[in-house]
Amino acid sequence: MNSNQKTASRQGPFPLLSEKNVNMKKEILAGITTFLTMAYIIAVNPSTLAAAGMDAGALVTATCLAAALGCFIMGFVANLPFALASGMGLNAFFAYTVVLKGGVPWETALTAVFVEGIIFIFLTLFKVREAVVNSIPLNMKHGVTAGIGIFIAFIGLKGCGLVIANEATFVSMGHLSPTVIFAFVGLFVIGVMDKKNMKGSILAGIAVSSIMAWIYAVLNPEMAAKLGIYLPTGIFKFESIAPIAGKVDFGFFSHPKDIGNFFVIVCTFLFVDFFDTVGTLVGVCSKANMLDENGNVPNVGRALLADSLATTIGALLGVSTVTTYVESSTGVLAGGKTGYTAITVGILFLMAMFFSPIFIAIPACATAPALIYVGYLMISSLREVDLHNVTEGLPAFITVISMALTYSIGDGLTIGILSYVLINLIYNIFAKPDEREKVSWVMIILGILFLIKLLFL
């Protein structure tokens, strides 16, 4: 953490305003880069939540508005370059598990998200979440960074079609389709520009891949549609959020048998959101050299408060859990260092409410090169992990592979921390007193909670 950040963290509710010597051009470019890598949520979130019976048009506006407000809070209050939006995975759980499979009305599901946000606000104010973040050992933090790198590279490879599902082997290589070619041309552009120290390499890669994909859609619209590539359907469009806003419903309290089910839903949202956010903050800050001398995330309490407030506000607007996005790493590695990056993302989300057809048309194969390249950059954190110390290196390794293979930052961190606690406690039983590894009580408590989660939730 630099001296400006240390000073800013001590000055009032909006430390961003005390930032000096900010390279605004770089911050704005970083914000644009982050936005373009996560703009897919403008299309994906409405299509996912609409399956639960919610109004798709209203969801586009609510998704953008909730993301913008979350980014503004993160930028002004925490002064960190992290963007927020409705979380992937959490929206699928909301729609397909809670509503469609569980038969819970979407209004009640929104209420569960709202309650989760309120609980997180209190946990943050009492510094419970901050204590968890700071208790994670430094080797584990570097492992989280590398794990996120593999995870987001996997998302990119899957998005362009190079990695596909396989019933026998779980995953396998796809065909050399146009989307794979577009993605790797973009990746080539990023790599060459970065090698030559040219600015805006990630943004350029996304732009080149998008243009190639759209040209292909003009030349072969039928095949492009099968590959998930579409031309913008227009320029301007705006939908009211009235059909979904303010629809939280506590009527289920009049039916005692529903309270237990509601509690399980809230707990699930809590676990996934909590550790997705923790993993993202730790991993991205570690890669960006933003951890302080003790290996802690700067302004972590404020960052977690921003995340909690965004979730609560998002539920009132009509969307599922809002969380800090791992795609923020693209902007951080493009030069974003302060809250101005997050604010830039927020402004672009507000603009997207009116220009959504353009942003929705950015295909997955165009964001893939950015995710793959950032994954490559983040995996370098493995160099900082003490792999020769089994009690430190093995849990870090388990964390790395679990994030990718479970397709979840939260689950990977859960398995990693549980393995860290078990390995170290078992080692301490047989080790000499002066050779025992110190394990914090916070980590032990987390290990117990994670074990309960895996066994019963």
122's tokens:
């209190």
Q: Per-residue confidence at 69, pLDDT binned at 50, 70, 90?
A: very high
Q: How far is Cα 133 from Cα 307, in angstroms, rounded to an integer? A: 14
Residue-by-residue DSSP string for 115-184: HHHHHHHHHHHTTHHHHHHHHS-HHHHHHHHHHHHHHHHHHHHHHHTSEEEETTTEEEE----HHHHHHH
| pLDDT exceeds cutoff 70 at 91 | yes
Residue-by-residue DSSP string for 226-274: HTT------S-B----TTTTT----GGGGSHHHHHHHHHHHHHHHHHHH
170 CB contacts (<8 Å, ≥6 apart)?
Answer: none
Three-class secondary structure assignment of 188-230: HHHHHHHHCCCCCHHHHHHHHHHHHHHHHHHHCHHHHHHCCCC
| pLDDT exceeds cutoff 80 at 276 | no
Count Cβ neighbours within 10 Å for each residue of 194-216 and write b for 16 or more, e otherwise: beeeeebbbbbbbbbbbebbbeb
What pLDDT is stored for residue 4 in this prediction?
A: 40
Element (H, E) at 304: helix 300-317
Q: Among the residues of 19-137, which ranges form H helices? A: 24-38, 41-50, 56-73, 90-92, 106-125, 128-135
| pLDDT exceeds cutoff 90 at 62 | yes
SS3 of 299, please?
Answer: coil
Short-list 354, 277, 334, CA closest to 89: 277
Q: How far is Cα 452 from Cα 285, in angstroms, rounded to an integer? A: 29
What pLDDT is stored for residue 9 in this prediction?
A: 44
Domain boundaries, given as residue ranges, for the chain? 24-235+255-382
Q: How far is Cα 442 from Cα 3, in angstroms, rounded to an integer? A: 29
Contact of 365 with 179, CB cutoff 8 Å: yes
| pLDDT exceeds cutoff 60 at 261 | yes
265 CB contacts (<8 Å, ≥6 apart)?
Answer: 98, 102, 104, 109, 112
- Choose between 192 and 292: higher pLDDT: 192
| Lowest-confidence pick of 6-15, 75-84, 169-178, 274-283 | 6-15
- Choose between 49 and 253: higher pLDDT: 49
The percentage of the chain sitting over the pLDDT mark of 90, rounded to a whole number, equals: 41
pLDDT digits (tens, 9 = 90+) for 413-451: 889 989 999 999 999 999 888 888 888 888 898 899 888
Q: How far is Cα 260 from Cα 2, in angstroms, rounded to an integer? A: 47
Contact of 67 with 378, CB cutoff 8 Å: no
What pLDDT is stored for residue 457 in this prediction?
A: 63
Short-list 338, 334, 300, CA closest to 35: 334
Contact of 401 with 415, CB cutoff 8 Å: no
Q: How far is Cα 232 from Cα 86, in angstroms, rounded to an integer? A: 23
Q: Against a cut of 0.85, is the pTM above it?
A: no
SS3 of 372, please?
Answer: helix
Q: Per-residue confidence at 264, pLDDT binned at 50, 70, 90?
A: confident
